[in-house]
Structure 1
């Protein structure tokens, strides 16, 4: 029973410190929470929590603040992520449904996450290498040029214009047959295996059209292997300025780390490797593998197999609210991109 009571005390300390940013003393705990025990018992529980490294005294005052380990235990012992209200879910859906293209989806998502959590919002653009083909269109654009349009399940559109060495505006039936064959073999397939999966196309076209098919396949392979699409979008870095005192080291180091998109891509990738697509990963303080971000916490999840999103902020974060918001927004983003 004492362990459960101490967990209640820790939970109360975390909640009060997140709300007030002031060290929490036993007197304020008794005033704000129905702990059902005496002041002496609360002080004893706080002493045990401090011995266990879950809370600490920032200075000589009687107040205590949670440590990274304390936040970790708090997060791990959450019985469940509190669901968002119907009004909150409706507002999210309405805001994101207004997006007109992928860039708008990403922009709206980061702005929404930042606004709802008051943290820095980070979103990875859908990765082509982890996307699947929705449709391939072949469009003669004059002379010997052919436009190849690759549309993937996340809504990304890649275009390539290639010289095929013949005027296909005069051969619409050839274009139609090749288009049908390419889509038959690629739709629903991961882009990472498209090149290998379409190698047999050359055997299914007449000899006179094999050179044409090879040009189209080469262009698709280039699109599938493209690496420059790995991008990150951010919003709300100004939120960190409001809580600059929460960072024991220079806030500028955190901001510089956030500008390193390679670091964020790796961070999103490592945290988004979740067995449960609806799970939310939380990395707290020193748990972060990148030194400049070890004064921050990251809450992230996936919005499907193609990318991740989340928020970055101080360890003094409202974890239940951030986790619920990240999960809800990811759900709506996945629905929009899969729709």
Structure 2
């Protein structure tokens, strides 16, 4: 066996043992627990080279070694494939998510499930409005000059707005202006991507019947605000108590800012903006640009397919945890859950 390949096996064994025990790993323990085919003295030599190259380090006065961010990165990059979940694990995911009643329930169940599966913090982004399409627009008359406009997207997201409208004048006898408006805006918008809404609003204003123009103009302002300028993306977070499992060993001095960053959500949303469907991203320790995440790893992936585009996700989901993480298992769980959430939303 080549020296490089054996050292990779030694590094892999150190990562696996440290993740499972949270104790620095020594050469004798490696020789006893793993069939590396060489003596403890050879393992010590390999560990010395790995330490010199920056893949492992010696914490304080301990005789053992722990992986560095560089070591975890090397380990993750050399994973030959993400192992698939067992059929029992996949069935458990399906059973847990299948009972969801609506989008909010799907996402709430997803963060609970991911937090339980990975024993880390789970995060999921609400489907990005600009990547969604209109499924239906409902218009309800609340008063003579007040309408409720309800937007339902193809991802199950619901937005409601109350619109003040002028009284309808010169309507044909027997007509129902609100029903006509409902038909008109659904014909114009159903199936349209929200990002394309501005053009359709302008077209609608040009082509609407004269007696509906006042209603269309008033509702259009709300449609532009809702469709073209969606509010800040939302993020659900679950399992934050899992961060305290490893204590100070996992997050030396970094737990408080990490919790604050998770609460503020902006940093995590920025990370989620980079995800694509099916491609699991792993960002380890110092690779995370925000200082609050330098003691953590983020495993994320996009879910769903925006407008049938394979490289554009509706949103992102993932987990945040210590760099001392079960990367193969976490990556498999994140990918499997994302795939199922995408299927659920496509069928809804």
Query: TM class, shorter-chain normalised?
Result: over 0.9
- Corresponding residue for 2:233? 230
Determine if the alignment matches structure 1 residue 310 to structure 2 residue 339. no
CA contact 1:282–1:300 (8 Å) conserved in 2:
yes
- Superposed counterparts of 1:145-156, under 5 Å: 145-156=146-157
CA contact 2:254–2:292 (8 Å) conserved in 1:
no
CA contact 1:309–1:330 (8 Å) conserved in 2:
yes
Q: CA deviation at 1:141?
A: 3.4
- Partner secondary structure for residue 38 of structure 2: coil
Q: CA deviation at 1:262?
A: 1.6
Determine if the alignment matches structure 1 residue 110 to structure 2 residue 111. yes
**What is the TM-score normalised by the length of structure 2?**
0.90
- Corresponding residue for 1:326? 334
Sort the Cα spacing of 1:171 and 1:79 in 2 relative to 1 into closer, same or farther, 3 A: farther
Determine if the alignment matches structure 1 residue 294 to structure 2 residue 294. yes
Any idea what the Cα deviations from partners look like across 1:236-255, whole Å, max 9, x if unmatched?
11111111221122422322
- Superposed counterparts of 1:257-272, under 5 Å: 257-270=261-274, 272=275
CA contact 1:125–1:229 (8 Å) conserved in 2:
no
Sort the Cα spacing of 1:171 and 1:100 in 2 relative to 1 into closer, same or farther, 3 A: farther
Q: CA deviation at 1:54?
A: 0.4
Sort the Cα spacing of 1:61 and 1:159 in 2 relative to 1 into closer, same or farther, 3 A: closer
Match of 1:199 among 202, 207, 215: 202
CA contact 2:280–2:300 (8 Å) conserved in 1:
yes
- Corresponding residue for 2:310? none
Higher mean Cα deviation, 129-138 or 177-186? Answer: 177-186
- Corresponding residue for 2:132? 131
- Partner secondary structure for residue 203 of structure 2: helix
- Superposed counterparts of 1:204-223, under 5 Å: 204-223=207-226
State the alpha-carbon separation in 2 of the partners of residues 331 and 88 from structure 1. Answer: 14
CA contact 2:257–2:292 (8 Å) conserved in 1:
yes
Q: CA deviation at 1:142?
A: 4.0
Give the unaligned 5+ runs of structure 1.
none
Match of 2:251 among 247, 253, 262: 247
Determine if the alignment matches structure 1 residue 282 to structure 2 residue 290. no
- Partner secondary structure for residue 149 of structure 1: strand
State the alpha-carbon separation in 2 of the partners of residues 113 and 221 from structure 1. Answer: 36
State the alpha-carbon separation in 2 of the partners of residues 214 and 179 from structure 1. Answer: 14
- Superposed counterparts of 1:10-49, under 5 Å: 10-49=11-50
CA contact 1:195–1:217 (8 Å) conserved in 2:
no
**What is the TM-score normalised by the length of structure 1?**
0.92
Q: CA deviation at 1:102?
A: 2.0
CA contact 1:303–1:309 (8 Å) conserved in 2:
yes
Q: CA deviation at 1:186?
A: 2.0
- Partner secondary structure for residue 258 of structure 2: helix
- Partner secondary structure for residue 165 of structure 1: coil
CA contact 2:296–2:320 (8 Å) conserved in 1:
yes
Higher mean Cα deviation, 77-86 or 224-233? Answer: 224-233
